[in-house]
Amino acid sequence: MAKFSRAMRMNNPRDYSRVFRQAKRSSRGGLTVLTIENSVGHPRLGLAIAKKHIKLASRRNRLKRVIRTSFRQHQSVLANIDIVVLSRADVSQRDIKQIWATLEQHWQTVATQWQKS
């Protein structure tokens, strides 16, 4: 079972700003995924789920849990990249199954964009 340790998280605000400035973007299904190469030797995940898009904290936390679980299951096929997942306004209209399917498509897109060497 793949883990989601502290090393797999993006914790530094400088890392986030670097991703926001220079990243490749992929948008669909209420989520936008930003990706950029890193030098830490493994993929890292950052989340930016807006309170503006999902009002209830319990729903925001559920969405974050789903994203982290999906990332954990796909991290072995991802290259050494930093990934930030952003919510969009229409994310609140989707149920968890739709979000899960969207994440599957995003991971496939990201894996092909950044072929693991």
Judge whether residue 26 has pLDDT over 80. yes
Distance CA 91, CA 76 (A): 26
CATH code for the domain of 74: 3.30.230.10
Provide DSSP, 29-84: TTEEEEEEE-SSSS-EEEEE--TTT---HHHHHHHHHHHHHHHHHHGGG--SEEEE
Structure tokens at 62: 């559920």
Its domain, for residue 49, covers 6-113
Distance CA 29, CA 78 (A): 21
Q: Against a cut of 0.85, is the pTM above it?
A: yes
Q: Is residue 1 part of a domain?
A: no
Domain count, the chain: 1
pLDDT band of 117, cuts 50, 70, 90: low
pLDDT in tens, 48-105: 999 999 999 999 999 999 999 999 999 988 989 999 999 999 998 999 999 999 999 9
